[in-house]
Structure 1
Amino acid sequence: MPESPPAGVVRCQWCSSDPVYQHYHDTEWGVPEYDAQKLFEKLLLDGFQAGLSWITILKKRDRYREVYRGFDPRFMADQDDDVLQALLQDPGIIRNRLKVYGARQNARAWLQLGQETDPGKWLWQFVGGQPKVNHFQSFAEVPAITREAENMSRALRKAGFTFVGPTICYAFMQATGMVMDHTADCFRYAELS
């Protein structure tokens, strides 16, 4: 992982001055991730973001990792309604009923998918198994949805997932380096393209 750059280095326009956000941008966003467990975590985190800012999720990520035991899909799939009701009282996570219950549903769908295929490879198929490197000059050029994200969204929904619309799927693709959308003026662009 690269070290965070000194002050004054140019980052993607969406990255605020918040140190948590900058660290995420500088070390994680757009870096190809192939580990299935980490992909599962990031897919769920992107779903939790729906309607919220990403920094909100980043600041709650550690608590999510605690309550979901490192995003263990078996643990999550086995949670009963009483456990989920208790989670809805936890201020350390997003206390949205649909998202909390959706996380259990997504864990169950993930386990089912894992019985049929390697979920990590399955997700990467939507970009042909390797990162798609974009060469956007400005943030205005970066799309919110692509055909690949629409295809992923349809396939995930068919597999039983929730909170996996095309915008969420594209954000997930960006976060996991399936697509590299650092803009050309960003210091990470040269390192990842």
Structure 2
Amino acid sequence: MSHSHDEDPACAAAHGDAPPEETERRTLVAVFASPVADHLLRFGVELGFRPILLEPDPDRGLGGLPAGSVEVVREAGGHLDGTADVVVTDHHRAEIGPILRDVLRGPARWIGIMGSPRHEGPHVRALTELGVPPEEIARVHRPIGLNIGSRTPAEIAVATLAGLIADRNGRPGGFAH
């Protein structure tokens, strides 16, 4: 059975017969330099995201990212807009509370933090202690990404980006239609 690429725009794009549909500008903000942040930002560029590394510690470098490959900022400030998907890549850092508080004050489209769903994330206590209301804390997604059994930083990044794309496109992710 043959089929025409004209009937399925996604198929035509996959075969290089049609340009991909234009999507709105997207920003991917990886919070904290880490191996997962390296992969998120590298893969994110390929997926059309404007990459930003939010690393508050000036003594921490870019990790494995080449200099000039991403925008590096020390605070959320005016760097995040309504296109920003923010992913906190290290839940052990002491700066989690202030960083997330500042991100929650802004217009970011989506905010998430890595971590196991088996116990409450450290961000909940940190934000509560800073006086952030529970309904704002609830805007921080955890766990993040699609449940594909990720074990490596690259796999975590792929699962996270797939989840962000599904969320942005109003899809459940996985193989459900």
Q: TM-score, normalised by structure 2?
A: 0.26
Which structure: greater helix fraction?
1
Q: Which one has a bigger Cα radius of gyration?
A: 2
